[in-house]
A and B are shown apart, each in its own frame.
Chain A
Amino acid sequence: MTDISQTPDTTPVAKPKGSLFDKDARTKRRNAAEGRFKLYGIAAIGIGLLMLVVLVTKIVTAGTGAFQQSFLELSVELKEDKLDKKGNRNIEDIKKVSTFGYAPLISAALEAEVQKLGIQTDLKPKGMGKILSKATQADLRNYVIANPDEIGNTVSFRFLVNSRVDGYMKGRVTRESIANDKSISVPQLDLVDQLRDAGVLYKTFNPDFIFGSDASDQRPEAAGIGVSMLGSLFMMLVVLALALPIGVAASIYLEEFAPQNRLTDIIEVNISNLAAVPSIVFGILGLAVFINYMHLPTSAPLVGGLVLTLMTLPTIIISTRASLKAVPPSIRDAALGVGASKMQSVFHHVLPLAAPGILTGTIIGLAQALGETAPLLLIGMVGFIASNPPDGIVAGFLSPNSAMPAQIYEWSKRADPAFYERAWGGIIILLIFLVTMNTIAVILRRRFERRW
């Protein structure tokens, strides 16, 4: 206080400033800067939201096409002398006829249809046949094997058309864009136009995309995501069966029982760091430990599930601990007060109260695992053509399969742009799963959220 008394402050009182109603130039300038700053913030949020809109729009516009497919409906005579020479409808004999045996039947059916409709075309039958998919013969063969009684009859059958024709029907392929394309020619497109006008070539909903299996890179029109969806399902089962109990057990230990010591510290630091380890590193771990060392089968959903379990564990542990922490100590005290052991108080009282939170965290962890791709690349779940659904539960876990994100990646690498449509369509399905899971998590949280 001494300075006040020793050095009397002789400066005059602050001179009255101008009226509050007049803004001086500096204030105006500062307010302009304020406005600009606020604008930057709005712009930043705008950019973020714009990107979201662009992304979603792109996914929807590029992906919905995959749910529709063009088919050509033809009446095929299933000639007995070609398909069942012995005429005894023995299924083994019918199976001996390879897909090549069906080619002439389809070709004949197409020719007959063109003639019946009175379509003028310079194309030879072989050229006409090119508008059909390479998968048609196998499709027809499967149909015959499933319905041997139809042999000898003339049946109406929906054939997949070539991906280029499909693209033409969807507007992806135009007459200009096929100039250098060997797979399709302008006369073929003329034929397609006429068949479409006649109503036998049409676009319709394609359940095979959702439930079907992947096809080789020559037949994008036949590719579906169903089998890899099963692969994802089996992986998620593994993750759920392992990550939930282990995660909950670890959280209970750390939150309720762990003494304050070095080991606990190490575990805690470890968990928070594991949560940030790049996912590809888990893939390397899976490759080295599960495949190279333990010799588990490559590409198996079991291995994928194990890797994703290790990857999601930290997420689940962190959220489970948060929900255990949210249960007030008074609940524990009450249980201990009536003579329950610590273990009983945790398992009988704390855990049930924390269950909604744990479930929410688990679902979010599962959603994260469902969308993860990078570690799957290293354990061989990419590059594998998931052409047959697993036959049984054990095979579901152990036989090679793909997974949804891996299947999408696989499609994105293939040369034919028709696969890109498949990839976007796959993303729509993947996102539907993720949105559903997250919505359930949000609803659970809202519903059971308790403020103590």
Chain B
Amino acid sequence: MALSWLLLILLALAVIGYFAGRSRALASADGDARALHSLPSYYGYNVALTALIPALGILIIWLLAQPLIVENTVSGMIPDTAISEGSDRGLVMSEVRRVAYGLDGAIASGLLSEAQARNADADVQALTQSLKDAGQVLTQDISKPILLAAQKYRGITSTGSIAMQMAVLIVALVGAALAYIRTHKEFRARNVVEQGILALLLLAASIAILTTVGIVLSMLFETMNFFQLHSWKDFFLGSTWAPNFRGGSELSILPLLWGTLYISLVALLVAVPVGLFAAIYLSEYATGATRSIAKPLLEILAGIPTIVYGLFALLTVGPALVSLFGDGGALGLGWMASSNAVLTAGLVMGIMLIPFVSSLSDDIINAVPQSMRDGSLGLGATKSETVRQVVLPAALPGIVGAILLAASRAIGETMIVVMAAGAIAKFSGNPFEAMTTITTRIVSQLTGDTDFASPETLVAFALGLTLFIITLGLNIFALYIVRKYREQYE
């Protein structure tokens, strides 16, 4: 029975429960709705929700937990001898999974019967062949232990699914029955339903936490796997990034971090002065009309998807820079070999960040009390003196916070650097050279054919976790500064 059927049955049960509960409540009050504690529909909702929610809860938990349990059980039955030299349990398990899916696929396409697939004494070679005939992807010939494990895997999975369906239906039925029995005109249906809805609301709010936990856990586990395969010293302290899918890779984050920070620095050198001056002009000088036109226009830049900036960098800014600084370029300098360069990515990222810096700074400058400006102007200071010597120093913490937020954006930006920064990891101070960043490497290590048991793939999770921690740290720090700053003037 497919999942969609189970869901449909649950839904039907809820609808039936609603009407049953409603009419039972009305019946208990002899059809006089005024004699009920709550509105009749609340009795209906009570039955429907009691049937639906625990059942759905069990369904979700089961769906999440089953793969883990199956994995552990099956993994435990693979003998150490079945794990060949240079391989590990994870690799073998992915092979087991492939075989299990292969068997499913072969049965679905009618090349194998259920009995054949279950036969533990089956001829391994023949089975491999028939799976290949069925178009299933196998990386190697099936060995006996793997076949057994795969059969076990299938067995537990299908038993688990049946058990799950039973459990979910029973819980739903029992829930509906209990709620139905309790339905009586004295029953405080509204209070119960509202408690239930409140719990659902809380659950929705907790998804934010679940997401964070999911992010951290998903990356943490794979990162731990990575550090079992690869030395942490090389990752944190090495100096070379040279992934090699035949093994012996050097995977150090430091050159990537350098590239990331360098490009972010170039971006901030563009975005901060331009954004800050734009914010100063808009908040201190511009008339209402100018402000109402220029501000939304600038903010359009923030709404443009990063893929557009990436393409702009790749096809417009890069070639333009090469024609200026490249070999035979307009300036005759010959500094730039390819349009992929730190400068290209940094400039375009800077443009992208201008509205980010300007609108944050604008808010912050506007939070400086007018009395401060009056004090300075009243002493005969010009506007620019007031801005430079009074407003900006007063707004400094807030502006620093805004710059940190912009820096965190720049560090986590992906598309522009993927398209325009290049793929060469190195320590260099030359902005005309191509360099690579953490985000670029995450993308390149995780796209295409990936093997989740090799350090070259798993390193992406370690990079992702580092990126997450860096940006999170910057954000928390920046938000803290900005909040402190705002409190000061409130």
Give the B-binding residues of A (Cβ under 8 A): 30-31, 33-34, 36-38, 40-45, 47-49, 51-52, 55, 58-59, 62, 245-247, 249-250, 252-254, 257-258, 266-267, 269-274, 276-285, 287-289, 292-295, 310, 313-314, 317, 341-343, 367, 370-374, 377-378, 380, 382-383, 405, 408-409, 412, 420, 423-424, 427, 430-431, 434, 438
Binary A-proximity of B202-213 (CB < 8 A = 1, otherwise 0): 111111110110
Query: Does B355 contact A409, Cβ atoms closer than 8 Å?
Result: no
Q: Quick check: is B471 within 8 A (CB to CB) of the other chain?
A: yes
Query: Which residues from B are CB-within-8-Å of A52?
Result: 297-298, 300-301
Query: Which residues from A are CB-within-8-Å of B187?
Result: none
Q: Quick check: is B400 within 8 A (CB to CB) of the other chain?
A: no
Query: Does A412 contact B315, Cβ atoms closer than 8 Å?
Result: yes
Query: Does B382 contact A249, Cβ atoms closer than 8 Å?
Result: no
Known: A281-B412, A284-B461. A377 touches B443 (CB 8 A): yes
Query: Does A285 contact B204, Cβ atoms closer than 8 Å?
Result: no
Query: Does A30 contact B385, Cβ atoms closer than 8 Å?
Result: yes
Q: Quick check: is B405 within 8 A (CB to CB) of the other chain?
A: yes
Query: Which residues from A are CB-within-8-Å of B471?
Result: 276-278, 281
Which stretch from B18-26, B269-277, B329-337 is at the chain A interface?
A: B269-277
Known: A38-B285, A48-B301. A383 touches B448 (CB 8 A): yes
Query: Does A250 contact B201, Cβ atoms closer than 8 Å?
Result: yes
Q: Which of A253, A266, A371, A424 contacts B305 (CB 8 A)?
A: A371
Query: Does A257 contact B311, Cβ atoms closer than 8 Å?
Result: no
Query: Does A314 contact B452, Cβ atoms closer than 8 Å?
Result: no
Query: Which residues from A are CB-within-8-Å of B215?
Result: 277, 281-282, 284-285
Known: A278-B414, A281-B215. A59 touches B308 (CB 8 A): yes
Query: Which residues from B are CB-within-8-Å of A430?
Result: 305, 307-308
Report the minimum CB–CB distance from B100 to chain A (whole Å): 11
Query: Does B413 contact A267, Cβ atoms closer than 8 Å?
Result: no
Q: Quick check: is B435 within 8 A (CB to CB) of the other chain?
A: no
Separation of A423 and B305 alpha carbons in the complex (Å): 13
Query: Does B443 contact A249, Cβ atoms closer than 8 Å?
Result: no
Give the A-binding residues of B (Cβ under 8 A): 63-64, 67, 190, 194, 197-198, 200-209, 211-212, 214-215, 218-219, 221-222, 273-278, 280-282, 284-285, 294, 297-298, 300-301, 303-308, 310-312, 314-316, 351, 354-355, 358, 382-385, 387-388, 405, 408-409, 411-415, 418-419, 439, 442-443, 446-448, 452, 460-461, 464, 467-468, 471-472, 475-476, 479
Query: Does A45 contact B314, Cβ atoms closer than 8 Å?
Result: no
Q: Which of A59, A274, A289 contacts B208 (CB 8 A)?
A: A274
Query: Which residues from B are CB-within-8-Å of A367?
Result: 303
Query: Does B281 contact A374, Cβ atoms closer than 8 Å?
Result: no
Q: Which of B200, B310, B312 contacts A409 (CB 8 A)?
A: B310
Known: A52-B297, A278-B412, A378-B446. A249 touches B200 (CB 8 A): yes
**Interface SS of chain B: helix, strand, loop or mixed?**
helix
Separation of A383 and B447 alpha carbons in the complex (Å): 9
7 closest cross-chain pairs (CB), A and B: A278-B412, A41-B281, A371-B305, A44-B277, A288-B218, A37-B384, A249-B204
Query: Does B275 contact A250, Cβ atoms closer than 8 Å?
Result: no
Separation of A284 and B466 alpha carbons in the complex (Å): 13
Query: Does B472 contact A45, Cβ atoms closer than 8 Å?
Result: no
Query: Does A280 contact B443, Cβ atoms closer than 8 Å?
Result: yes
Query: Does A278 contact B446, Cβ atoms closer than 8 Å?
Result: no
Give 20 pairs: A residue, B residue, CB < 8 Å, sorted on A. A30-B385, A37-B384, A44-B276, A48-B275, A58-B312, A267-B205, A270-B212, A278-B411, A280-B442, A284-B219, A285-B211, A287-B446, A343-B198, A371-B304, A372-B306, A377-B446, A382-B447, A409-B307, A409-B310, A431-B304
Query: Does B464 contact A281, Cβ atoms closer than 8 Å?
Result: yes
Query: Does B461 contact A48, Cβ atoms closer than 8 Å?
Result: no
Q: Which of A45, A313, A420 contacts B207 (CB 8 A)?
A: A313
Query: Does B384 contact A281, Cβ atoms closer than 8 Å?
Result: no
Q: Which of A253, A272, A341 contacts B205 (CB 8 A)?
A: A253
Query: Does B211 contact A288, Cβ atoms closer than 8 Å?
Result: no
Apart from A249-B204, A281-B468, A313-B208, 12 more pairs, CB < 8 Å: A38-B383, A41-B278, A49-B297, A55-B312, A276-B471, A277-B472, A281-B412, A285-B215, A370-B305, A371-B307, A373-B415, A412-B315
Query: Which residues from B are CB-within-8-Å of A281?
Result: 215, 219, 412, 464, 467-468, 471
Separation of A427 and B275 alpha carbons in the complex (Å): 26
Query: Which residues from B are CB-within-8-Å of A271?
Result: 208
Query: Does A279 contact B206, Cβ atoms closer than 8 Å?
Result: no
Q: Which of B310, B385, B411 has the most CB of A within 10 A?
A: B310
Query: Does B468 contact A48, Cβ atoms closer than 8 Å?
Result: no
Query: Does A343 contact B197, Cβ atoms closer than 8 Å?
Result: yes
Query: Which residues from B are CB-within-8-Å of A424?
Result: 311, 315
Q: Which of A36, A289, A412 contacts B214 (CB 8 A)?
A: A289
Separation of A383 and B448 alpha carbons in the complex (Å): 8
Query: Does A43 contact B301, Cβ atoms closer than 8 Å?
Result: no
Q: Which of B63, B190, B222 contacts A288 (CB 8 A)?
A: B222
Q: Which of B67, B194, B222, B306 contacts A374 (CB 8 A)?
A: B306
Query: Does A270 contact B277, Cβ atoms closer than 8 Å?
Result: no
Separation of A295 and B64 alpha carbons in the complex (Å): 11
Report the minimum CB–CB distance from A52 to chain B (whole Å): 6
Query: Does A279 contact B414, Cβ atoms closer than 8 Å?
Result: yes
Query: Which residues from B are CB-within-8-Å of A257?
Result: 198, 201-202
Q: Which of A43, A343, A367 has the most CB of B within 10 A?
A: A343
Separation of A37 and B205 alpha carbons in the complex (Å): 47
Report the minimum CB–CB distance from A407 to chain B (whole Å): 10
Query: Does A284 contact B460, Cβ atoms closer than 8 Å?
Result: yes
Separation of A313 and B218 alpha carbons in the complex (Å): 19
Query: Does A373 contact B306, Cβ atoms closer than 8 Å?
Result: yes
Query: Which residues from B are CB-within-8-Å of A246?
Result: 204, 207
Q: Which of A274, A314, A430 has the most CB of B within 10 A?
A: A274
Separation of A33 and B221 alpha carbons in the complex (Å): 58
Query: Which residues from A are CB-within-8-Å of B297?
Result: 49, 52
Query: Does A45 contact B443, Cβ atoms closer than 8 Å?
Result: no
Query: Which residues from B are CB-within-8-Å of A40?
Result: 277, 281
Query: Which residues from B are CB-within-8-Å of A254?
Result: 205
Q: Which of B301, B316, B418 contacts A58 (CB 8 A)?
A: B316
Query: Does A284 contact B446, Cβ atoms closer than 8 Å?
Result: yes
Query: Does B278 contact A44, Cβ atoms closer than 8 Å?
Result: yes
Report the minimum CB–CB distance from B203 to chain A (whole Å): 8
Query: Does B303 contact A277, Cβ atoms closer than 8 Å?
Result: no
Report the minimum CB–CB distance from B82 to chain A (whole Å): 23
Known: A30-B385, A294-B67, A373-B306. A51 touches B447 (CB 8 A): no
Query: Which residues from B are CB-within-8-Å of A293?
Result: 67, 218
Query: Which residues from B are CB-within-8-Å of A405?
Result: 305, 307
Query: Which residues from B are CB-within-8-Å of A55?
Result: 301, 304, 308, 312, 351
Separation of A165 and B303 alpha carbons in the complex (Å): 36
Query: Does A280 contact B467, Cβ atoms closer than 8 Å?
Result: yes
Report the minimum CB–CB distance from A324 to chain B (whole Å): 12
Query: Does B315 contact A420, Cβ atoms closer than 8 Å?
Result: yes
Query: Does B354 contact A48, Cβ atoms closer than 8 Å?
Result: yes
Separation of A202 and B306 alpha carbons in the complex (Å): 35
Query: Does A343 contact B194, Cβ atoms closer than 8 Å?
Result: yes
Query: Which residues from A are CB-within-8-Å of B204?
Result: 245-247, 249-250, 253
Q: Which of A47, A51, A274, A341 contacts B194 (CB 8 A)?
A: A341
Separation of A43 and B285 alpha carbons in the complex (Å): 13
Query: Which residues from A are CB-within-8-Å of B303?
Result: 367, 434, 438
Query: Which residues from B are CB-within-8-Å of A341?
Result: 190, 194
Separation of A405 and B416 alpha carbons in the complex (Å): 13
Query: Which residues from B are CB-within-8-Å of A374?
Result: 306, 414-415, 418, 439, 443
Separation of A408 and B311 alpha carbons in the complex (Å): 9
Separation of A405 and B419 alpha carbons in the complex (Å): 13
CB-CB nearest in chain B for A40:
B277
CB-CB nearest in chain B for A285:
B215
Q: Which of A247, A274, A288, A295 contacts B67 (CB 8 A)?
A: A295
Query: Which residues from B are CB-within-8-Å of A292?
Result: 452
Query: Which residues from A are CB-within-8-Å of B418?
Result: 374, 377
Query: Which residues from B are CB-within-8-Å of A30?
Result: 382, 385
